[in-house]
């Protein structure tokens, strides 16, 4: 028994040394690369007409590849063509009225006003002389008081007619008032704005793609009466492709904007995509249900947005991915 105790001690010491060496070796060789989990976040666009009307045609179907600027559908244009023609006519009328006001009165109108002044002057002179004669006769008691009063009234009326004719001639020579010119200009600008709106409404009867992508949903069919803003098509944008992931506070220092990462999916474990962290949320939140790492389920985390450098059609909306941090910070 005395010889076995040292042997047992040696064996225990040996075991402890081997265990310590194993722990050291494991710590030296284990993979300390930060790994996160997230989902592909491809943005979508709900496309609609800015004006209402009857849908005349749709040129695409679900799954089609769409290029930016491509015409996808069209409304019935006839009501908007008529409205454009009416707005054009109103603009022409307002332009003609404005030109007329700016041009002032014609020389023929001015000449007629001058002739009317001369005629009124002659009538006023005759009425004045007749009144003066009636006054002389009244002093001689030859005429009646009624004759004198009638002559006086005729003289006053002739002077008023002369003043009216002179004012009209002055108006014709001076042209239109500034207020009339401003009113005509405002009417013209209003008609021009209405014409531009009518042209824009007609252009909006064509539905064009805002960017390239894949058509996800065709919500209506030709013949449907649509109101402005009703969703017609849903487009999944081809670029950019982002990954939404979450990191805990302990590893937040590694997740800095511009940090390069590798993105893996289960179908391509050995052929990752390269990405770069583009955004780190400044506020903490609870881990969403889509993140499936057990140690993060009850912790506060920070949302990351990772931009995929060279994406392809393999990455689909909502696809789960694994993110491994590449190299040192």
Residues in the chain: 329
pLDDT digits (tens, 9 = 90+) for 192-204: 999 999 999 999 9
- Tokens standing for 107? 């020389």
Query: What is the separation of C-alpha 256 from the centre of its chain, rounded to a whole number of angstroms?
Result: 33
pLDDT digits (tens, 9 = 90+) for 240-266: 888 988 888 888 888 888 888 898 988
Query: What is the separation of C-alpha 234 from the centre of its chain, rounded to a whole number of angstroms?
Result: 19
Of the candidates 197, 175, 180, 171, the one whose C-alpha atom is nearest the C-alpha of residue 98 is: 180
Q: What is the mean pLDDT of the chain?
A: 82
Q: Around Cβ 297, how many Cβ atoms within 10 Å?
A: 13
Instruction: Please answer whether residues 79 and 205 qualify as being in contact, where contact means their C-beta atoms are separated by less than 8 angstroms.
Output: no
pLDDT digits (tens, 9 = 90+) for 151-162: 788 888 888 887
- Tokens standing for 253? 């220092």
pLDDT digits (tens, 9 = 90+) for 288-318: 655 555 555 556 788 888 888 888 878 887 8
pLDDT digits (tens, 9 = 90+) for 88-111: 999 999 999 888 887 766 666 666
How many angstroms separate the CA atoms of 78 and 207, rounded? 16
Antiparallel, parallel or unpaired: β 213-218 and 65-66: antiparallel
Say if residue 273's pLDDT is above 70.
yes
CA distances from 30 to 27, 34, 231 (A): 6, 12, 53
Asked if residue 240 has a cis previous peptide bond (ω within 30° of 0), the answer is yes
Coil, helix or strand at residue 1: coil
Q: What is the DSSP string of 168-200?
A: HHHHHHH-S-HHHHHHHHHHHHHHHHHHHHHHH
pLDDT digits (tens, 9 = 90+) for 199-221: 999 999 999 999 888 898 999 99
pLDDT bracket for residue 20 (50, 70, 90) = low
DSSP 251: G
Of the candidates 26, 24, 37, the one whose C-alpha atom is nearest the C-alpha of residue 265 is: 37
pLDDT digits (tens, 9 = 90+) for 21-78: 665 555 554 445 788 888 888 788 999 999 999 999 999 999 899 999 999 999 999 9
Mean pLDDT over 126-142 rounds to 79
Q: Give this prediction's pTM.
A: 0.60
Residue 61 makes CB contacts below 8 A (sequence gap 6+) with 215, 218
Of the candidates 69, 42, 73, the one whose C-alpha atom is nearest the C-alpha of residue 231 is: 73
Instruction: Please answer whether residues 35 and 254 qualify as being in contact, where contact means their C-beta atoms are separated by less than 8 angstroms.
Output: no
DSSP 289: T
Instruction: Please answer whether residues 322 and 264 qualify as being in contact, where contact means their C-beta atoms are separated by less than 8 angstroms.
Output: yes
CA distances from 169 to 100, 108, 157, 161 (A): 18, 12, 19, 12
Q: Which residue bears the tokens 């492709």?
A: 241
Angle between helix axes 107-139 and 145-174 (nearest 10 degrees) is 160
What is the model's pLDDT at position 203? Answer: 96
How many angstroms separate the CA atoms of 221 and 237, rounded? 22
* Cross-strand pairs, 218: 233
Residue 201 makes CB contacts below 8 A (sequence gap 6+) with 50, 51, 80, 83, 84
């Amino acid at each position: 028994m005395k010889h076995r105790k040292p042997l047992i001690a040696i064996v225990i010491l040996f075991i402890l040394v081997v265990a310590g060496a194993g722990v050291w070796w494991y710590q030296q060789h284990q993979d300390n690369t930060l790994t996160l989990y997230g989902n592909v976040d491809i943005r979508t666009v709900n496309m609609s007409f800015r004006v209402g009307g009857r849908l005349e045609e749709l040129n695409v179907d679900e799954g089609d590849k769409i290029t930016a600027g491509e015409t996808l559908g069209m409304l019935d244009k006839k009501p908007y063509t008529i409205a454009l023609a009416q707005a054009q006519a109103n603009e022409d009328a307002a332009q003609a009225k404005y030109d007329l006001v700016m041009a002032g009165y014609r020389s023929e109108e001015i000449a007629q006003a001058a002739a009317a002044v001369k005629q009124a002057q002659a009538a006023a002179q005759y009425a004045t002389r007749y009144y003066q004669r009636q006054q002389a006769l009244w002093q001689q008691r030859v005429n009646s008081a009624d004759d004198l009063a009638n002559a006086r009234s005729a003289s006053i009326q002739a002077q008023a007619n002369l003043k009216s004719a002179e004012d009209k001639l002055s108006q014709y020579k001076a042209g239109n008032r500034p207020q009339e010119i401003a009113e005509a200009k405002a009417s013209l600008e209003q008609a021009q704005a209405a014409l531009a709106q009518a042209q824009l409404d007609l252009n909006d009867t064509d539905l064009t793609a805002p960017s390239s992508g894949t058509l996800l949903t065709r919500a209506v069919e030709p013949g449907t009466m649509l109101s402005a803003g009703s969703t017609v098509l849903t487009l999944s944008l081809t670029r950019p492709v982002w990954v939404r992931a979450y990191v805990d506070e302990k590893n937040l220092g590694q997740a800095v904007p511009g940090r390069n990462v590798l993105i893996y999916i289960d179908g391509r474990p050995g052929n990752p995509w390269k990405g770069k962290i583009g955004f780190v949320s400044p506020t903490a939140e609870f881990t969403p249900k889509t993140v499936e790492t057990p140690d993060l389920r009850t912790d506060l985390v920070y949302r990351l947005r990772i931009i995929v450098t060279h994406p392809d059609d393999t990455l689909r909306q909502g696809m789960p991915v694994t993110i491994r941090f590449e190299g040192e910070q």
